[in-house]
Amino acid sequence: MDIKKLDESVNWSLRKLEAFRKTTKDAVTQYVGSHYGEGGSKTKVPVNLLELATTIYVRLLAARAPKCNISTPDTRLMPMAADLELVVNQIPKEIGLDRTIQHAVVDAMFAMGVVKVGLRGISEDPNVGDEPFVSLVRTEDYFCDMSAHSWDEVQYEGNDYWMDVETAEEMFGTKLNAEDDNNVNEVGQTSTRELSVSDTSIPLFERVRLRDVYIFKTGHLITYDTRTMKILRDIPWDGPQGSPYVRLSFNYVPSNLMPLPPVQLWLDLHELANGVFRKLANQATRKKTVTVFQGGSDEDVHRFKTAKDGEAIRSNAKPEDMSVGGVDGGNLAFFIQNKDLYNIMAGNIDALGGLSPQADTAKQEQLIVEASSARLKAMGDSVIEFAREIFRRLAWYAWTDPVRTRTLRKPAGKNTRVTVKVEWTPETRDGDFLDYNLDIDVFSMRDDSPSTRVEKLMMILERVTLPLLQQVEAQGGYVDVRMLHSYLGENVNFPELSNIIKFQDLGPEASRPIPGNPRPEYVSTKAPFTHRTYERVNRPGATRHGRDAALMQTLLGGKAQGDEMAALSMNRSMT
């Protein structure tokens, strides 16, 4: 490998990436606002719309670490596929994969998320083996072949990183010289890190900057010193098909490598909203009311200023109040319109984040949320594919590990919590890695807290079980109320529920349907005949969009209708 030619090509690509990194740095500066570290925004960011939308999307896209499902078309290998699935699903907790994926999603919101997957030695004992890792690659440290027209034509990709000199010398067996980390790379680009550290750092252990480059044509991973251009390592890539790097991006740009990240679409509206809001704040601050005297003397003014409330004074002039300054109604209406437009461009984050009701009825609210999730679903598919590629590499390392053994706990059956111990060793594996199909469980990455599960349970009971209760009973089914209350008390963190609601123990036969009788015998306290009255009541809408529209109409000199004015002062929550 001609290291000089490689270094020239990489540095050329870094210069071509400079504009993208500068835009990313500007967006991150707005994201952190004016109260972060040494290099935050020079102007105040009172309405941080970027942080709001980013937090909502990251929570919806990667709330938890994903889980993988592994199957095989060969029935003989199904038990082995189940063992491999248990092994691979152990790794995320061991390496903190959930946090890494969340950070990669945040990077993809601003630019592009990149992780590096590989093996690291955890012990000098050859019988212990290596441990897989998934490390986040900073946006300003990653580079790729910018001369390519598409990702299929990319000749190399890699990243720069820092390592302490002693560790690097032990790993590569050569003498290395320490460097100063001043947040500037080889082509003079500054790092986003200077938002918190603006000067040259003073580390405890001296460090050196290294560069990893993966060459697609040869399948080799090259490591060299960026200052001396000395090759430290040139090894064939011992991993699954593809490179050590896994990329996450959301918006493809035709005929270009770099994606169009969501934050870049929102940045102009964010800056415009904050600029207008700062102007409104200045107008509000400048507003003041003064007392004006038509005629009179300085003594009259002095007596008026020093007089206490309710005190009578003598004056030769009648004072009048005069107000100057204040918030401009047109500017305020423009700010509200700007905020609404940002909400649209961000995919209706009011609905996705549950920030305010979007409709007058629960059914309309549900339809709006489902429609708003179209962008979220497209982004979620990208995150799932990103996680699938990571798990494919982790599964490869788990399968090809020549020495490491694991102890697995497998369920003894489908409907039991009893488990049995199974040893996972190189000798127990059967078949080839390509005989297995790996997939990602989409729902495992979403929020699955106890409160969320309770909401799902109540929705099923309300929409499915209770409306079909007669059919359920006719087929011998029943609702175990004791188990329902036990589950609710446990998952809503209210254990006192078991002490409030007591059940008499009538034996196991009392809770079962009588054989031969499709309906269980119980005494109903419900009246045999019921009467319902349906009443339709029209109320003014209280959605945020409706309130903002009425307020803008008033600010611009229009006359709002009675129900619109009622909506401005209405404060109700939707159920």
DSSP string, 467-530: TTHHHHHHTT----HHHHHHHHHHHTT-TTHHHHS------GGGGSPPTT-SS------S-SS-
SS3 category, 279: helix
β strands within 237-374, DSSP E: 245-248, 288-293, 319-324
pLDDT at 369: 55
Question: Scanning the structure block, which residue is given the tokens 């809408």?
Answer: 541
pLDDT at 531: 62
Angle (deg, nearest 10), helices 97-110 and 49-61: 140
For residue 492, CA distances in Å to 344, 393, 488, 489, 498 come to 35, 38, 6, 6, 12
- What average pLDDT does the chain have? 80
Q: What is the dihedral of CA 140, 391, 393, 208, to 10 degrees?
A: 30
pLDDT at 74: 79
Ordered mean pLDDT values, 10 residues apiece, the chain (575 residues):
90 93 92 87 93 91 82 81 87 90 95 92 59 91 93 94 92 90 70 77 88 94 92 86 91 92 95 94 88 77 81 77 83 90 87 63 52 77 90 88 81 70 82 73 61 79 86 86 82 75 64 50 50 58 61 63 57 40
Enumerate the domain spans of the chain: 3-52+61-262+380-438, 450-506, 540-575
pLDDT at 81: 84
Buried b (16+ CB within 10 A) or exposed e, 59-76: ebbbbbbbbbebebeeee
Instruction: Determine the Cα–Cα distance for residues 468 and 234; give it in Å rounded to an integer.
Output: 67
**Entry pTM:** 0.77
- Give the CB-side neighbour count of residue 482, counting CA atoms within 13 A: 8
Residue 212, Ramachandran bin (φ over 0: left; ψ between -120 and 50: alpha; else beta): beta
Work out whether the CA dihedral 329, 330, 332, 336 comes out positive or negative: positive
pLDDT at 491: 75
Q: Which residues contact 61 (CB under 8 A, 6 or more apart)?
A: 105, 376, 379, 380, 383, 445
pLDDT at 55: 92
DSSP H helices in 353-480: 362-400, 450-460, 469-474
pLDDT at 405: 82
Instruction: Determine the Cα–Cα distance for residues 247 and 269; give it in Å rounded to an integer.
Output: 27
- Beta bridge partner(s), residue 180: none
pLDDT at 130: 78
